[in-house]
Structure 1
Amino acid sequence: MQLDFFPSRTLTVYIARMFAVRIVAMMIVLIFVLMALDLLGRTGEILAVEGNGQAEILEYIALRIPELIQRFLPYSVLLATLITLVSLNQNSEVISMKAAGLSAHQILAPLLLTAAVISALLFTFNETVVWRTTGVLKAWQANDYAPIEAESGIRSNIYLTDGPNILMARRVTGEGPQTVMEDVTWYRRNPQGILAEQIRARRATYADPGWLLEDVERFDVASAEGAEGSDTIIGREVTFEQIELESVDPEAQSFGELSESIDAYQSAGRRTSELEAKWWHKISGPLSAFLMPLLGSVAAFGLARSGQLFVRAILGMALGFAYFVVDNAALAMGNFGGYPPFLAAWAPFLLFLLVGETVLVRTEE
């Protein structure tokens, strides 16, 4: 038996090239299908804005594709793993390699090497492209696909507190005294914490102190009656710093910028568990591509003529998709403090690394 981790150079290049081609092919297929489905729901919203046309649809595609690559490249690696290993098994190439003295780990080594390169490329792609396009796309969507300036600074769905009261704004633009909130809702609660009144306004501007609501509609909870109201000032304790902190979007910030946002939250005495979990996940997320060959390796072994190859492929796919389910669940738990941030981001990866290694060792080694 060879003691080297990798098989011969020729065999390594042969398997790695086969695997890489299938990753690219699966990624193209997934992007084409998912983009087509996405456009079915978005095209009408984009074209509903006066002046929008084919150019805006193409712009949406250009902004959306990086998100799809970020999210579904690990899925492509999983599917490519299954296709590659099933093909090698059906052609008796796995049997030949094992007869030559290669272990299961040596057979998988070219796939793991390729997946490691894919993980590094995905992390680089996220840090150079994805966070920028995500920020632009979210700002455009917050403006209902109407034209926006490149540096408009639009932030969406901001929630602020002023004692027991809550201020929600669908869009926020500008900075400092020039800050403008749009589609504003003010929830006024009584000292017992019960909702007493809801005020909706088209726009809110800084009133020094407080925020001046314009085009006001009031709804009294006790009487269940609504009526138009005059412009009013609310949220005297809401500051610009609160708005800046509340508008932090981890998906629209790079690794370094998110680190600075976490420091700012900590300096303000704010809870940072959600941001820290997303910070760690910016590393563990791309590494999920490295895990896929190990989880799908069960499809490589066993006799193709035994009738269990299809079952093994399904098992490998199930392990891969189970990882993504557990990863999303753990990240959600970390967002509201159920798990520590590090555990929320890394526990699924380490768990399924052990699961994949255990299955491989017990069945083939």
Structure 2
Amino acid sequence: MIGVGMIERYVLRKTLAGLAAALAVVAVLVMLIAFVDISKNVGTRADVGFTQLLFLTVLQAPATILVLTPFIFLFGTLGAFVGLNRRSELIAMRAAGVSAWRFIMPAAIAAFIMGLLTLTLLNPLTSAMSAQFETSRDALMESYLKSAPKGLWLRQGDEKTQVVIRARARDQVEGAVRLRGVSLFVYAVQPDGSLQFAQRIEADEARLEPGFWRLSGVRVAMPGAGAIRSETYTMPSNLDDRTASERFNNPQAIAVWLLPETIKRTEAAGFSSIPFRLRLQQVLATPLLFAAMSVLAAAFSLRLMRLGGLAGLAGAGVTLGFGFFFFNELCGALGKADVLTPAMAAWTPPIVALLAGLTLLCYTEDG
């Protein structure tokens, strides 16, 4: 008599082995592609060695691997269950009266738990590594970035004043944000909410200090008045080094726990928070997404070997997985364009994938 938990533990071990193999393959491919890309974009523009290129690759690759994690669960689970089917182990389980729901459930639960770990641990870690990658890359390419024309935009404000900041370049000096070739456009917020231009400030350099910007080489111009020159000038600011740096980063470089605060600050400064809201919802949907991909993969690998067509059905599962990936990207693009709400854009793909897997499973198991 087979023990109640023996089958679940056995299927779970096979599933974890399949996931580990898929992760290894994806990680190697991503590392190779990332190394070639960094060598082309950084190595040809800065004097860097193999060790530095490898360090940048290690910093960048985890974020890409995390994006491809749904494929890892799809291929890993599919490979594990196809292996069980080819060795007739699934046939033996079902002949013993074990329902398909029973040996698929461990894979789905494990995927959901891994999704929670990704949400709580891996996402903050990869976000920190992505931010460090951008900082390290900019430091290595400092001479190139100085000569390359590049405009950076920042915005700060409160209920009385809104300031749009444009800078030619940015760098970090002793952990503080420093901008070069700076233009500050200051607007006064009117009682009806409209903005009225108040003054324009040009500065050779702006350094963010606690509570204010310290400007040097300053020229201040107001409507109807001439420009006033000054060696130094201070401008109040509600930004700090971390929040100012976040404005230059993409949402993927911000940890999930910092996204709600970033959304509030972005909206207070007058920016659109849609990319950050979408990113937050996508990260929260990760556990359901992983579980859905596992169920979908398992459902496509349950056809009995003696009936034939298992390879074709597994191939159809892989094709459907790629189709789901493009559907997910489409929903993300529609969410960024504000066609769909961030919640709808993030949660629709995993729900559709889960329903598709459960539907196929019901058809296969219960007819």
Give the TM-score normalised by structure 2. Answer: 0.72
Residue 292 of structure 1 corresponds to: 293
User: Could you tell me how far apart the structure 2 residues matched to 1:54 and 1:47 are?
Assistant: 9
Measured against aligned partners, the alpha-carbon deviations of 1:296-352 in whole angstroms (never above 9, x if no partner) come to: 123322221333101110121122222221112111211121111111111111122
| Deviation per residue, 1:212-237 (Å, 9 max, x gap) | 79xxxxxxxxxxxxxxxxxx9xxxxx
Out of 57, 61, 82, which is 1:61 matched to? 57
In the TM superposition, residue 157 of structure 1 has moved relative to its aligned partner by 6.6
Partner of residue 171, structure 2: 173
Shift of 1:275: 1.4
Structure 1's unaligned 5+ residue stretches are: 1-6, 148-155, 187-202, 214-231, 233-237
Change (3 A) 1:144 1:52: closer
1:205 aligns with 2:229: no
Q: 2:92 aligns with which of 96, 99, 103?
A: 96
Structure 2 CA distance for partners of 1:289 and 1:254, relative to 1, 3 Å: same
CA contact (8 A) 1:77 1:115 kept: yes
**Distance apart, 1:68 and its partner CA:** 3.3
Note the C-alpha offset of 1:99: 1.7
C-alpha displacement of 1:247: 3.0
- Structure 1 partner of 2:30: 34
1:356 matches 2:367 = no
2:151 & 2:236 partners in 1: Cα distance?
A: 17
Q: CA deviation at 1:63?
A: 0.7
CA displacement, residues 25-73 of structure 1 (integer Å, 9 cap, x when unaligned)? 2111211122112222322444446652232123113212322331222
Equivalents in 1 of 2:301, 2:321: separation in Å?
15
Contact (CA 8 Å) 1:143, 1:171: kept in 2 or not? no
Paired AA for residue 359 in structure 1: L
Change (3 A) 1:123 1:318: same
Secondary structure of the 2:68 match is: helix
2:303 maps to 302
Q: How far apart in 2 are the matches of 1:183 and 1:299?
A: 58
Q: CA deviation at 1:19?
A: 0.9
What amino acid is the match of 1:27? Answer: L
* Unaligned segments of structure 2, at least 5 residues: 144-149, 156-163, 185-202, 208-212, 219-228, 230-234
Shift in Å, 1:103: 2.0
- Write the deviation string for residues 185-208 of structure 1: whole angstroms up to 9, x where unpaired: 99xxxxxxxxxxxxxxxx953499
Alpha-carbon separation, structure 1, partners of 2:270 and 2:41: 40
Report the equivalent of 1:158: 152
In the alignment, the residues of structure 2 paired with residue 179 and residue 64 of structure 1 have an alpha-carbon distance, to the nearest angstrom, of: 22
* Aligned residue runs from structure 1 range 223-238, under 5 A: none
Q: How far did residue 119 of structure 1 move?
A: 1.3
Give the deviation of 1:239 after TM superposition.
Answer: 8.9
Instruction: State the SS of the aligned residue for 1:301.
Output: coil
Question: How far did residue 210 of structure 1 move?
Answer: 9.7
- Corresponding residue to 1:78 among 74, 86, 92: 74
Which amino acid is the alignment partner of residue 308 of structure 1? G
Distance of 1:138 and 1:248 partners within structure 2? 8
TM-score (norm 1): 0.73
Q: Which range moved further: 37-46 or 325-334?
A: 37-46
In structure 1, the partner of 2:221 is: none
Instruction: Please tell me the residue identity of whatever aligns with 1:13.
Output: R
2:83 matched to 1:87? yes
Tell me, what secondary structure is at the counterpart of 2:351? helix
Residue 132 (structure 1) aligns with: 128
Query: What are the within-5 Å matches in structure 2 for residues 107-126 of structure 1?
Result: 107-126=103-122
Deviations 1:74-130 (A, max 9, x none): 211111111111111112221222222222211211211221222122223334411
What amino acid does structure 2 have at the position aligned with 1:358? Answer: T
- Tell me if the contact between 1:294 and 1:353 (Cα under 8 Å) persists in the aligned partners: yes
Identity of aligned residues (%): 23
What is the identity, as a one-letter code, of the residue corresponding to 2:18? R
Structure 1 residues 100 and 138, CA, compared in 2 at 3 Å: closer, same or farther?
same
Q: Are 1:16 and 2:17 counterparts?
A: no
Aligned pair in 2 of structure 1 residues 184, 285: CA closer, same or farther (>3 Å)?
farther
Mapping for residues 341-352 of structure 1, pairs under 5 Å = 341-352=342-353
One-letter amino acid of the structure 1 residue matched with residue 170 of structure 2: V
Structure 1 letter corresponding to 2:303? G
CA contact (8 A) 1:115 1:290 kept: yes
Give 1:122's aligned amino acid: T
